[in-house]
């Protein structure tokens, strides 16, 4: 049992706006967790903090027991909601780059997935369609053998068939030592693969339970509860 | 195997139920090798931990058993599975009756409809 | 990891500069070949002249391009959407900055060498031999006057000063871009604004120095110093050059460290 993410009274302010307000959170290994909340709830801020792209205003955040930095970056695999690709490279070149920087990267898995999705590795990234770019981003992240996967809206910008592929890939990739945090609004599509759900709003965590607890206690799906809770 | 899962109920028991239906009907034969946890998770689109829990629950009831390094197998004694299916049937029947009553029918009328439908 | 960063940074520069390099050498070669057809006609003059002009333009383009690349590469790789990948690589911000600056300087040197080689190609033969002879003669002449060691030292100091100035210029651009990215919408305006302020501030600072000098001079307060310099020109010249090298290096260091601080703590990716 290891704690892959820990937040202690984590606060992040942007000027006078509080994006995260004294968040306390713990994520163990071997879980698939949904980070669910409306826009502006603080999801993206939390994700950026855990990736070391932002520094806390106060409080602490630990990834696998360490503060975000070079060491944590080698065990975190992040899929942002926009393409992060260096468009001037070809698919092969960016796969090589991931091999270079990440000891846990599995190139054979990456090539297998590229083949399955019909993406030609010799193509230049800038020539790919938006959908294909998203697929390449996903393949690069899922081919890592990381401890913590952080997926920001992994299925929002892809077609339904690809959504199924993304979900199968997440399930297939599951291993007991790692955890996956999925931040999304498309709860209905993703809730069956979740172990736990975190509801976040206005920088505060409103709920952190296992999904079956939610279903038993409320007699409805997580998606339905979400709509109830976040009704206008 | 086709999986029909109702997201408004806990998923773990639903997996147990559907496996029991398969076993009770003979579709999954006694002694036959069951799918792996991962295979079920992928085909049902469900979290592997949930499937693991379901398998463990069925193992406790003696419906399936595991062989280390080999996988999960359907147990020889299908009575526990059949019991579960019977329970399911009565639950569904109750559900049906409740729904029909909500449409304004009483018990006699419901039975009439069922008879007519059978013909 | 730093090695890997260098590998990728160098690959990027090679890929981007290759085209200009090829053109540079092609034009130099063409200029040389044209000279084989030398004659007294107007046509030759026009063709040769055009070729020389093209060579000059290409040379200027190469210089312009390397500077632009230094800026664009920095911005795109760190502050555009690429930043999401760059800053989640298991590499520290200091390593990123160091590699980017070093590779830029490397390719500035490469560009200068290419230009020299291209010019040599263009003037190959009698002209080049004459230039080399003249250079050697000058070296001996001056060397005899002030000592060969001193001459070599001057050369080293000039080159160092040049390198530090080039580096400082790019580091100032890094600084302006780092400050610019602090805002959301008006990054470019803020960067330009910061650059403008630095420029004005530098001018003001220099003017103040000149004014102080003039005041002190007219009050004859500097006579002692000027006499000393007059009697020790060599030593003071070297000292002056080293002073400037160190001063520019320190100023660059400050800009570099502040940029690093901004990038580490106040990254603002869209």
- Chain C nearest C-alpha distance from A167 (Å): 23
Of B8, B38, B50, the CB nearest to A221: B8
The verdict on C213 and C103 lying in the same domain is: no
The 10 Å Cβ neighbour count of residue A197 is 24
In a domain, C249, yes or no: yes
Give pLDDT, residue A144. 96
Cα end-to-end span (Å), chain A: 39
The verdict on C12 and C119 lying in the same domain is: yes
In a domain, C131, yes or no: no
Q: How far apart are CA A232 and CA C262, in angstroms?
A: 39
Top mean pLDDT of A172-176, C4-8, C213-217 is at C4-8
Is the minimum CB–CB distance between B7 and chain A shorter than 8 Å?
yes
In a domain, C193, yes or no: yes
In a domain, C136, yes or no: no
The 10 Å Cβ neighbour count of residue A107 is 13
In a domain, C117, yes or no: yes
- pLDDT tens-digit map of C48-81: 888 889 999 999 999 999 999 999 999 999 999 9
Segments in chain A forming alpha helices (H): 43-50, 70-73, 91-101, 107-116, 130-142, 160-172, 187-190, 211-218, 222-229
pLDDT at C39 over 80: no
* Cα R_g (chain C), whole angstroms: 24
- pLDDT tens-digit map of A138-195: 999 999 999 999 999 998 888 888 888 999 999 999 889 999 999 998 898 899 899 9
Map residue A51 onto helix, strand or coil.
Answer: coil
Range of the domain at C105: 1-124
CB-hemisphere CA count at 13 Å for A157? 19
* Of C93, C124, C155, the domain-final residue: C124
Mean of pLDDT values over C13-18: 93
Give pLDDT, residue B26. 80
The verdict on C157 and C236 lying in the same domain is: yes
Beta carbons of C92 and A84 less than 8 Å apart: no
pLDDT at C45 over 90: no
Q: Please, what is the average pLDDT of chain C?
A: 89
Q: Which residue has the higher pLDDT, A97 or B119?
A: A97
Beta carbons of A100 and C7 less than 8 Å apart: yes
Substitution target in B13, B37, B45, B52 with the highest count of A β-carbons within 10 Å is B45
Quick one: pLDDT band at residue C111, thresholds 50, 70, 90?
Answer: very high
Q: How far apart are CA A84 and CA A226, in angstroms?
A: 30
- Strand locations in chain B (E): 64-67, 71-74
The verdict on C120 and C152 lying in the same domain is: no
Beta carbons of C84 and A86 less than 8 Å apart: no
pLDDT at C245 over 80: yes
For the whole model, what pTM was predicted? Answer: 0.88
The verdict on C71 and C172 lying in the same domain is: no
CA of residue C36 relative to chain centroid, distance: 35
Residues of A in contact with B7 (CB under 8 A): 188, 191-192, 215, 221-223
Q: What angle do CA A84, A90, A92 make, to 5 degrees?
A: 100
In a domain, C139, yes or no: no
Phi/psi at C124 (5° precision) = -55, 145
Quick one: pLDDT band at residue C235, thresholds 50, 70, 90?
Answer: confident
Of C89, C92, C264, the CB nearest to A101: C89
Give pLDDT, residue B46. 92
Q: Which residue has the higher pLDDT, C124 or C59?
A: C59
pLDDT at C228 over 80: no
Give pLDDT, residue A230. 86
Beta bridge partners of A18: A13
Beta carbons of A101 and C90 less than 8 Å apart: yes
In a domain, C51, yes or no: yes
Q: How far apart are CA B15 and CA A142, in angstroms?
A: 27
The verdict on C35 and C98 lying in the same domain is: yes
Is the minimum CB–CB distance between A160 and chain B shorter than 8 Å?
no
The closest of A149, A143, A62 to A108, measured between CA atoms, is A143
Map residue A152 onto helix, strand or coil.
Answer: strand
Of A48, A74, A83, the CB nearest to C81: A83
Can you tell me which residue has the tokens 């803020």? C190
Q: With a cut of 70, which residues of chain A have pLDDT below it?
A: none
Torsion (CA) A93, A98, A100, A106 in degrees, nearest 10: -110
Residue A78 has which token pair? 């992040």
Q: How far apart are CA A164 and CA A148, in angstroms?
A: 21
Is the minimum CB–CB distance between A54 and chain C shorter than 8 Å?
yes
Give pLDDT, residue A143. 96
Say if residue B61 is exposed, middle or buried (CB neighbours under 10 Å; 0-12, 13-18, 19+): middle
Give pLDDT, residue C34. 85
Q: Which residue has the higher pLDDT, C98 or B28?
A: C98
In a domain, C111, yes or no: yes
Residues of B in contact with A221 (CB under 8 A): 7-8
Q: How far apart are CA B36 and CA B43, in angstroms?
A: 11
The verdict on C159 and C86 lying in the same domain is: no
Pairing of strands A17-28, A76-79: unpaired
Q: Chains A vs C: touching, with 3+ CB pairs under 8 Å? A: yes
Is the minimum CB–CB distance between A28 and chain B shorter than 8 Å?
no
Cβ pair A100, A172 in contact under 8 A: no
Residue C45 has which token pair? 């003059």
Residue of A nearest to C77 (CA): A86
The verdict on C105 and C5 lying in the same domain is: yes
The 10 Å Cβ neighbour count of residue C19 is 10
The verdict on C83 and C181 lying in the same domain is: no
The verdict on C153 and C116 lying in the same domain is: no
Number of domains, chain C: 2
The verdict on C92 and C211 lying in the same domain is: no
* DSSP conformation letters of A195-206: SEEEEEETTEEE
pLDDT at B31 over 90: no
Give pLDDT, residue C244. 93
Residues of C in contact with A80 (CB under 8 A): 84
Sign for the pseudo-dihedral over CA of A105, A106, A107, A109: negative
Q: What is the ipTM score, two decimals?
A: 0.92
The verdict on C73 and C161 lying in the same domain is: no
Give pLDDT, residue B80. 83
């Amino acid at each position: 049992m290891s704690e892959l993410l820990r937040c202690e009274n984590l606060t992040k302010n942007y000027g006078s706006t509080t994006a995260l307000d004294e968040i306390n959170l713990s994520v163990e290994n071997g879980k698939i967790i949904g980070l669910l909340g409306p826009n502006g709830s603080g999801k993206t801020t939390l994700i950026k903090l855990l990736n070391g792209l932002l520094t806390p205003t106060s409080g602490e955040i630990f990834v696998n027991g360490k503060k975000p930095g070079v060491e944590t970056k080698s065990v975190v695999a992040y899929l942002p909601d926009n393409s992060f690709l260096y468009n001037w490279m070809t698919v092969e070149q960016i796969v090589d780059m991931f091999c270079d920087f990440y000891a846990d990267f599995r190139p054979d898995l990456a090539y297998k997935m590229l083949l399955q999705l019909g993406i030609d590795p010799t193509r230049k990234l800038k020539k790919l369609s938006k959908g294909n770019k998203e697929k390449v981003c996903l393949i690069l992240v899922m081919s890592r053998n990381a401890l913590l996967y952080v997926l920001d809206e992994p299925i929002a910008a892809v077609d339904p068939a690809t959504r199924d592929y993304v979900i199968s890939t997440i399930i297939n990739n599951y291993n007991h030592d790692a955890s996956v945090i999925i931040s999304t609004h498309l709860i209905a599509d993703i809730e069956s693969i979740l172990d736990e759900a975190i509801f976040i709003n206005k920088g505060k965590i409103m709920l952190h339970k296992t999904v079956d607890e939610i279903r038993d206690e409320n007699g409805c799906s997580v998606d339905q509860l979400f709509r109830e809770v976040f009704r206008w | 195997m086709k999986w029909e899962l109702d997201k408004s109920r806990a998923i773990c028991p639903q997996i147990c139920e559907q496996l029991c239906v398969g076993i009770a009907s003979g579709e999954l034969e006694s002694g036959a090798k069951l799918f792996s946890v991962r295979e079920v998770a992928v085909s049902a689109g469900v979290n592997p931990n949930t499937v693991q829990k379901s398998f463990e629950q069925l193992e406790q009831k003696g419906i399936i058993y595991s062989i280390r390094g080999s996988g999960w197998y359907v147990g020889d004694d299908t009575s526990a599975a059949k019991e579960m299916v019977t329970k399911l049937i009565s639950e569904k029947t109750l559900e049906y009756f409740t729904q029909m009553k909500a449409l304004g029918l009483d018990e006699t009328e419901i039975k009439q409809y069922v008879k007519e439908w059978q013909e | 990891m730093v090695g890997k960063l260098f590998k990728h940074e160098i690959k990027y520069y090679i890929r981007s500069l290759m085209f200009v390099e090829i053109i540079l050498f092609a034009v130099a070669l063409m200029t040389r070949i044209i000279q084989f057809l030398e004659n007294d006609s107007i046509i030759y003059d026009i063709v040769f002249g055009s070729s020389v002009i093209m060579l000059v333009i290409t040379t200027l383009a190469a210089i312009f391009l390397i500077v632009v690349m230094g800026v664009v590469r920095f911005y795109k790789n760190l502050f555009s959407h690429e930043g999401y990948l760059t800053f989640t690589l298991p590499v520290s911000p200091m390593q990123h900055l160091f590699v980017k600056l070093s590779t830029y300087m490397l390719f500035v040197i490469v560009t200068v060498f290419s230009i020299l080689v291209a010019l040599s190609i263009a003037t190959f033969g009698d002209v080049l031999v004459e230039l080399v002879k003249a250079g050697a003669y000058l070296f001996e002449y001056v060397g005899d006057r002030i000592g060969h060691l001193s001459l070599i030292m001057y050369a080293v100091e000039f080159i160092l000063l040049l390198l530090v100035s080039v580096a400082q210029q790019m580091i100032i651009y890094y600084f302006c871009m780092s400050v610019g990215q602090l805002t959301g919408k008006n990054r470019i305006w803020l960067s330009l604004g910061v650059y403008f302020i630095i420029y004005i501030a530098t001018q003001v600072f220099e003017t103040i120095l000149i004014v102080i000098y003039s005041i002190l001079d007219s009050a004859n307060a500097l006579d002692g110093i000027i006499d000393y310099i007059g009697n020790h020109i060599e030593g003071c010249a070297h000292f002056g050059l080293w002073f400037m090298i160190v001063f520019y290096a320190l100023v660059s260091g400050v800009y570099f460290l502040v940029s690093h601080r901004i990038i580490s703590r106040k990254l603002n990716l869209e």
